[in-house]
Structure 1
Amino acid sequence: MKKTCSEVIAETLVSLQVKYVFGIVGIPVIQVAEAIRDAGIHFVSFRNEQSAAYAATAYAYLTKKPAFCLVVGGPGVIHAMAGVFNANNNRWPLVLLAGSSETSLRHMGAFQEFDQVSFLTPHTKFAARPPSIQLLPSYIQRAYRVSHFGTPGTAYVDLPADLIESSTASEDICIPSPSNILDSPVVNAAEDVLNKVADILIHAKAPLIVVGKGVAYSKAEDAVYNLVEKSGIPFLPTPMGKGCIPETHPLNASAARSSALKSADVVILLGARLNWLLHFGKQPRWSQTVRFIQVDTCAEELGNNTSLGSTFVWADIACFANQLSTLLEKKGYKRSPSVAQYVNSLAAVRKKNEQKALNQLQSSTPLRMNYSLHVMNEVLTLLSKNSSTPVTWVSEGANTMDRSRLLLHVSHARGRLDAGTTSTMGLGMGYSIATALANPNHRVVSVFGDSAFGFSAMEVETAIRNKLNIIIIILNNNGIYHGLDADSYKDLEEKNQLPTTALSVATRYDAICQACGGQGFFVQTEQELKDALTTAWKTNNVSLINVMIDPESKMKLIFNWMQETKKPVKL
């Protein structure tokens, strides 16, 4: 009995317990996708390879398992490179499979010919073309293993058309048991380093734990929560680290972020990088004498932007947190009076800042962005509580993402996905679809700026076709960062002086969702927003709420992540 290459690929994926493959079909990979579907794996067919690849990376993050993306060769690979870049920079495991032209037509100008192995080699941990159908299972399994062992990243397997068209006797195919590669190895912290960390903490006067998205990816939230509880050390979550410890926890320093950074003398970085998100660990945001304890599964990251007096721990985050909790207890660690005073001062700043932020929230016409986010948070938090259905947020945009980070409550680990390390636009709908698939019992609520939504708008149809339950909210200010009101737009358009940040006024994004079979709402008032949210929550389909907000055309663009001190350019 013969077995086709497509069947071999599908059976190999089944052996790896793959549930979903993200991608777009075309010549020569259509039959591969069909075989994958016939094997019981859900093939999620997108409208753009970019979104498919982004979805795969998000699914990998949420499940801590390598995710598969299947695309055509040539331009399909180029489009999928956005996901490769995203996976590598966020340290998430991705396996990219792509068709390619026949090996017999190499260098002859074949259909969509592209030397994809050479192209992808510098950008992946493994890139190869299987030499035969018999070796195909081992190549795919190797790609799977390499993508998540060590520092997670991308692996690539090339599928030329003549290989896809081939077949062989069933007895010639052996798919090894992959049981020993399904989970990545974990590493405990070295005892001497652990003792050093404990001693540093015992003598610290203002310690701080930074909870990065590496905690969420590693599924280390329980261990880190236990460490915070036992040590009494304040914590500060990064945007995608939010929810690993409840945001209502009294030691949460988010609302006192500036004070926490400036006053901390010892900082434990758990799966967080000292990049632009944390101001590179430099002054003026941080103290000149701060000591960092950097904990990461990626050894290459250790020491980046830290001082020579810092301590580096290469270990699984959950293992480290559990080890440190046990050691501190063994050493009889108790919070000193100076640490207690520091904690109380942060609590006072937090209370003051929270009240100040609350006082600034006022209803208006047109609606303002911050107040709209506040209303969304209040309504959806109540609906979530009453139905015992967790909300997982996806956020994309410039102002939209930054402000939602402050105003939307995250109730659980991996409960907020955003543009991540690279601040990538275009991933919103791909992330939303992946999140709905990974968490079928959660309600996915995706909050976009109108500009950001445009990058992946047609994936609304993908979500509807796959019968996913997603609420999409667009904060529509008619522009990138800020827009124009109708009168200003008309005046500048007639003068041919529209600013580069301007988008069309009151674009009906809700109509796109309706045209694709979903539910759309056009919202201009607070009550309309509340009603739309309530109706969308009760609907088992994709809903899109198009919220018109103040364009804020006169507001100065300020990027808080940029360095405040001006330095001369060095080329």
Structure 2
Amino acid sequence: GLATVLITNEQSAAYMAAGVWAATREIACVNIIGGPGVTHALPGVAHAHWARMPLLLICTDIRTSYGAGHFQLHEVNNAGILAPYCKDVTTLRDEDCALATVLQAVHTASQPPYGPVAIIVGSHLLTQPQVVGVVPKRPPLALPAYPQPRLAPLATSPLPRREPLVIVGPDLYPTAVPSLMAWLEETNGRVMTMCAAKGLIDETHPRWLCNAPTPQSETEVRRLPSRAEVVLLGCNLNPLPALPSGHAGTPAPGSGLEVLVVGHPLVGTRPHWQHIDTDPAAFVMAATQG
């Protein structure tokens, strides 16, 4: 009785599963391969996590440590990648526990606060013959009532408008500029520039610049609008020695700000900042999912 849809893009599948809940209040399941399947689907899983949407994700775990001998190019830490964005991550190693594991995962995802739950299927279950008994008929799982304020029309309960503040350093690649400008257009953001990047942005897109100087201390950062999100893009942080502690998704204590550091060379030296080691052109995904 389950409807199945074949999707050729894992990222689209995860977003579609979140959309199923938004439209029908029914939990959808995403079935993907391990390795690149997990990394491709991660933005949709993270979206469900931040939007508090229940979602079930089932993926394979092909690893040399399990003795599978297949697809070793895809050997990644699936559980480690999914854990920050899932309420629970379970590895299934016994076919006798499959039904109970799925039922428990759906129950966990459907309990407030809602969110994704992942099941990783051990490789030995895929490479060896398995005997699966008849699944007993069970009554539909009763889901708790969804909070009514989340169902109210946007006209009566508008979402707060985010106005990110992007501090651009000299390491910004020219290829990232179009993505940066498109994101600022969508979010009504503003840019502060430093060093060599100033001419790159000022000359091509001056209307997005704000007039405030680049903050030089924690005190100046705290004076920024409380609803603004500070995004450091391609900065070596030397001109910003005292940003408030905090990371993406968690406001710094007392500041009301969220700090997102993208691609700076100080990874590992300042653990209270969130570091995203990725192509600068891909920062839009990370920044807009917060």
| TM-score, length of structure 2 as denominator length | 0.52
**Structure 1 contact 106–113 (Cα < 8 Å) conserved:** no
Partner of 1:124: 86
Partner of 1:237: 157
* Root-mean-square deviation (Å): 4.4
1:563 corresponds, among 209, 225, 235, to: 225
Partner of 2:113: 151
Structure 2 counterpart of 1:563, which letter? P
Partner of 1:162: 124
2:144 corresponds, among 185, 190, 193, to: 185
Compared with structure 1, are the counterparts of its residues 162 and 63 closer, same or farther at alpha carbon in structure 2 (3 Å cutoff)? same
Matches within 5 A, 1:488-499: 499=200
Structure 2 counterpart of 1:82, which letter? P
Identify unmatched segments of 5+ residues in structure 2: 165-181, 192-197, 212-223, 229-241, 246-290
Matches within 5 A, 1:41-120: 41-46=4-9, 49-101=10-62, 104-105=66-67, 110-120=72-82
**Structure 2 contact 68–124 (Cα < 8 Å) conserved:** no
Counterpart-to-counterpart distance in 2, 1:398 and 1:78? 22
Matches within 5 A, 1:8-407: 14=1, 18-19=2-3, 41-46=4-9, 49-101=10-62, 104-105=66-67, 110-169=72-131, 172-175=133-136, 177-179=138-140, 181=141, 183-186=142-145, 215=148, 217=150, 219=151, 236-239=156-159, 277=162, 398=183, 401=186
Compared with structure 1, are the counterparts of its residues 565 and 166 closer, same or farther at alpha carbon in structure 2 (3 Å cutoff)? closer
Give how far 1:159 is off.
Answer: 1.9
Give how far 1:178 is off.
Answer: 4.8
Identify unmatched segments of 5+ residues in structure 1: 1-13, 20-40, 188-213, 225-234, 240-274, 280-396, 404-422, 424-479, 482-496, 503-551
Give how far 1:85 is off.
Answer: 1.6
Q: How many residues align?
A: 196
Counterpart-to-counterpart distance in 1, 2:227 and 2:104? 47
Compared with structure 1, are the counterparts of its residues 137 and 51 closer, same or farther at alpha carbon in structure 2 (3 Å cutoff)? same
Counterpart-to-counterpart distance in 1, 2:19 and 2:157? 19
Counterpart-to-counterpart distance in 2, 1:186 and 1:159? 31
Structure 2 counterpart of 1:43, which letter? L
**Structure 1 contact 130–157 (Cα < 8 Å) conserved:** yes
Give how far 1:155 is off.
Answer: 0.3
Counterpart-to-counterpart distance in 2, 1:177 and 1:166? 28
Counterpart-to-counterpart distance in 2, 1:112 and 1:277? 37
**Structure 1 contact 75–112 (Cα < 8 Å) conserved:** yes
Compared with structure 1, are the counterparts of its residues 498 and 237 closer, same or farther at alpha carbon in structure 2 (3 Å cutoff)? same
Give how far 1:141 is off.
Answer: 2.2
Give how far 1:91 is off.
Answer: 0.4
Compared with structure 1, are the counterparts of its residues 112 and 565 closer, same or farther at alpha carbon in structure 2 (3 Å cutoff)? closer
Counterpart-to-counterpart distance in 1, 2:69 and 2:8? 31
**Structure 1 contact 138–176 (Cα < 8 Å) conserved:** no
SS in 1 for 2:92: coil
Structure whose CA Rg is larger: 1
**Structure 1 contact 134–173 (Cα < 8 Å) conserved:** no
Counterpart-to-counterpart distance in 1, 2:202 and 2:40? 25
SS in 1 for 2:53: coil
Give how far 1:72 is off.
Answer: 1.5
Counterpart-to-counterpart distance in 2, 1:215 and 1:54? 23
Partner of 2:177: none
SS in 1 for 2:118: strand
Give how far 1:53 is off.
Answer: 1.9
Compared with structure 1, are the counterparts of its residues 108 and 159 closer, same or farther at alpha carbon in structure 2 (3 Å cutoff)? closer
**Structure 1 contact 130–136 (Cα < 8 Å) conserved:** yes
SS in 2 for 1:96: strand
Counterpart-to-counterpart distance in 2, 1:84 and 1:97? 12
Give how far 1:142 is off.
Answer: 1.9
Give how far 1:139 is off.
Answer: 1.4
Compared with structure 1, are the counterparts of its residues 236 and 128 closer, same or farther at alpha carbon in structure 2 (3 Å cutoff)? same
Partner of 1:23: none
**Structure 2 contact 38–59 (Cα < 8 Å) conserved:** yes
Q: Which has the higher helix share?
A: 1
Give how far 1:143 is off.
Answer: 1.5
Give how far 1:164 is off.
Answer: 2.5
**Structure 1 contact 138–175 (Cα < 8 Å) conserved:** no
Counterpart-to-counterpart distance in 1, 2:202 and 2:20? 32
Counterpart-to-counterpart distance in 2, 1:168 and 1:174? 14
Runs ≥4 residues deviating over 6 A: 106-109
Give how far 1:157 is off.
Answer: 0.7
Compared with structure 1, are the counterparts of its residues 501 and 153 closer, same or farther at alpha carbon in structure 2 (3 Å cutoff)? farther
**Structure 1 contact 129–158 (Cα < 8 Å) conserved:** yes
Counterpart-to-counterpart distance in 2, 1:501 and 1:64? 46
Give how far 1:398 is off.
Answer: 3.6
Give how far 1:62 is off.
Answer: 2.1
Give how far 1:109 is off.
Answer: 9.6
Counterpart-to-counterpart distance in 1, 2:28 and 2:52? 13
**Structure 2 contact 162–227 (Cα < 8 Å) conserved:** no
Partner of 1:540: none
Counterpart-to-counterpart distance in 1, 2:149 and 2:12? 22
